[in-house]
Structure 1
């Protein structure tokens, strides 16, 4: 509360102020006090691992690959929204059309062909409206920071893995209303908003996720296990009725993402994104 100047206020007053404070102001005052990064604890995560370790089922240097027998993992379509909090907090949205292209050109100075491939799908230049540029940057962050690692990790897991893609749109007002925002899949799956916030479609999606996750927790297959990057199979939640798909396009994801990554390389691309964010 000290960061917000509310330490001396009574609890009821703190609640009142927090409930009416614009989210942009809250982010600016509190963001990145504690870095939102993986904790290298020398036990569960003994070191920072690269994408090749994650995606190789024979590389068992991550301890969990030996004791964890099966897992569910997935992404939300707009997971990358959470990566934009730093830009919002610093008031950098207006500068993206000028600064982001310059940053990427410097990052890919020795690989102009890779940069050209990226620009074909994620177009940001000096003439791009700032909000559109921000949306494109966040979509890139979703694809490279969440979608790709989901498939790489599933492919590199020695046991059965079950991948889902979540597409139910945030029903609440605010800057992320209508987006498939980060951790929304968790909120929907837990069912706490089924009678207070979610529409009928959202409540049905919640029930579908709960059924699948409870089956998994009881040792049953929640759906067909993942077999191959980009083709799954994958479970899609939030597109009306849950369904199985075998293409990224049917999951409402960029269908050529992994072909692009094959040429550009995940580590180099993600390093360029994260250094900018």
Structure 2
């Protein structure tokens, strides 16, 4: 907690004038969001492994045989070079948001277009690939369209002297789209839960039929429920932290009153720790 408050106050002092409203909050949010991304990535790793195993099982229809047919469209369920579809959607969404944060942080702290050009084009490429990737999921794909429009606008902005104004304008203008993307990820939690518990539920059914004890399996099932629930709260607190940033940007007259942003960021970091803890429990 002290570290977050200290970083907020330090960056705010360095930022100085009203024209840098929201910069302190965004810098700190970026730091905490990176921690959130790390635990979300660990969750996606587990999702990918379970989804791959389910995909193979379903395509072989539970058969112990090797399978006689090869389907090109099933490659992601067998190759280790790519995620299966659901995990791929989530990993790409996280990557796009992370790159967006890097660019916005760059504008917020005074970097010019030339310094950010590589990041901008990398984000453009990732966003484009993600839209192609999720054509079967129109809700997620639709969330990426505003990012492509934003990048076309960014391409016209090259003066470092205008970067702080750009930060304020873009953070506010695209706030709803960023939140919408995070909400789309959060609202997919039931499918994540279904994939992560598929084998546990199958083992519970098989064990019950065979008359074996399934208490430990039920405990493991509950642990996954708690993990995914914590992750949903994590997504909500990511949104709360972004809301605090935008509030600071829209209310520069509040000056150094950082209490709202500090509270949101501390709650976000606390939830990151909870998700990390429950990931370890599920994997124990």
What TM-score do the two structures reach when normalised by structure 1?
Answer: 0.29
Structure exhibiting the larger radius of gyration computed from Cα positions = 2
Judging by fraction of residues, say which structure has more helix: 2
Higher strand share: 1
Higher relative contact order (CA 8 A, sep 6+): 2
